[in-house]
Structure 1
Amino acid sequence: MKTLIDHLSQYADYHRDPRNIHTHFVGVPMIMFAVVLLLSRPVWWLAGVPLSPALVGAVAAAVFYVRLDLRLGLVMSALLAAMLAATTGMDALATTPWLAWGVGMFAVGWVIQFVGHYYEGRKPAFVDDVMGLLVGPLFVVAEWSFALGLRKEVQHAIEQRSGPVRERVLERAH
């Protein structure tokens, strides 16, 4: 099994431009929320517990994240739980508004992602490895932790493999 550093470094190879990373701070959560919403139906009741494809997927993703790294995995698990809770009321919407919200957020999230990759000058990571779809949200949480001064050892290991995030050079008129 690949390690946390293996996954994040491979993903980071496609994300070294700060503008691309910043678009991911918006686009990835939108996509993730949209997927949870779109998988919130149908709901089956099993021993008094509402079971949906969203819950099954969230539990599987949480197990993956926690196995890679306990701290980041617990943050990801909390975010997934929050998204599941937030979609609970939305799954009761009529089909048209439920689909409009889900598909709309999904589409807008991807547009934001592709703008970021335009700046990057490189295709999204998932094109070469479908695991990028699962690693992307973890990458965003890791980048937030780095911005907060946390997990410097993880940041250093990623930068050893993928290089640092490029600094934007501002053109000055003289």
Structure 2
Amino acid sequence: MRTLDQWFAEYAVSHQNPKNKAIHYICVPAIYFSIVGLLMSIPSTIISNALQLNMPIVENWAFLVLLFVLVFYIRLSIAMAAKIAIFSLLCLIVNYYISQFVPLWIFSLSVFALAWIGQFYGHNIEGKKPSFLKDLQFLLIGPAWVVENLFSKK
């Protein structure tokens, strides 16, 4: 199994151009955020009935999927898993409040589409294919790479 640093080194190969990096710093979190919103939009009667907590931020498909996603990050780094867990919790909370004003699935789908357009534009500038075309796990490395680059003391 690759280490987090090995993943980052391989991911960085196709993310050297400053414009592409800047686009990724915006679009990768937006895609993650929108996926959380899309998952929250799936009816979750089964989960709500099973848990009966009356906590909509926890009683949804996004929360369940994020628990499994965190296992991936825990295997790489406890510190990174904690950072992603905080970001995931923020995504859950903000998406919940957005859902109080607009249909969440429409909002999330719009953000998702626009962010992917941005991603592919960034890779066009870079002149390299997105890393996830080589290995789908890079879809989870991207958010960690953004967190690491934006908030590390390097």
| TM superposition score category, shorter chain reference | 0.7 to 0.9
Larger Rg: 1
For 1:83, give the aligned amino acid: C
d(CA) in 2 for partners of 1:20 and 1:69? 26
The offset of 1:25, in angstroms, is 0.9
The offset of 1:66, in angstroms, is 2.7
For 1:125, give the aligned amino acid: S
Give unpaired runs (5+ residues) of structure 1: 153-174
Question: What is the TM-score when the length of structure 1 is the normalising length?
Answer: 0.76
The offset of 1:70, in angstroms, is 2.1
Matched residues, percent identical?
31
CA contact (8 A) 1:23 1:116 kept: yes
| Corresponding residue to 1:48 among 47, 52, 64 | 52
For 1:145, give the aligned amino acid: F
d(CA) in 1 for partners of 2:116 and 2:5? 25
3-state SS in 2 of match to 1:14: coil
CA contact (8 A) 2:95 2:104 kept: no
Give unpaired runs (5+ residues) of structure 2: none
CA contact (8 A) 1:37 1:90 kept: no
d(CA) in 2 for partners of 1:57 and 1:2? 23
d(CA) in 1 for partners of 2:113 and 2:66? 21
| Residues 10-60 of structure 1: per-residue CA shift (max 9 Å, x gap) | 211211111111101111111111100000022221232443221112111
| Corresponding residue to 1:58 among 50, 66, 70 | 66
More helix per residue: 2
3-state SS in 1 of match to 2:69: helix
The offset of 1:93, in angstroms, is 6.0
Q: Which residue of 2 aligns with 1:121?
A: 127
3-state SS in 1 of match to 2:14: coil
Measured on the aligned residues, the alpha-carbon RMSD in Å equals 1.7
d(CA) in 1 for partners of 2:31 and 2:67? 18
Distance 1:118 1:58, change over 3 A: same
| Corresponding residue to 1:73 among 81, 96, 111 | 81
Q: Give the count of matched residue pairs.
A: 146
Distance 1:98 1:32, change over 3 A: same
The offset of 1:85, in angstroms, is 1.3
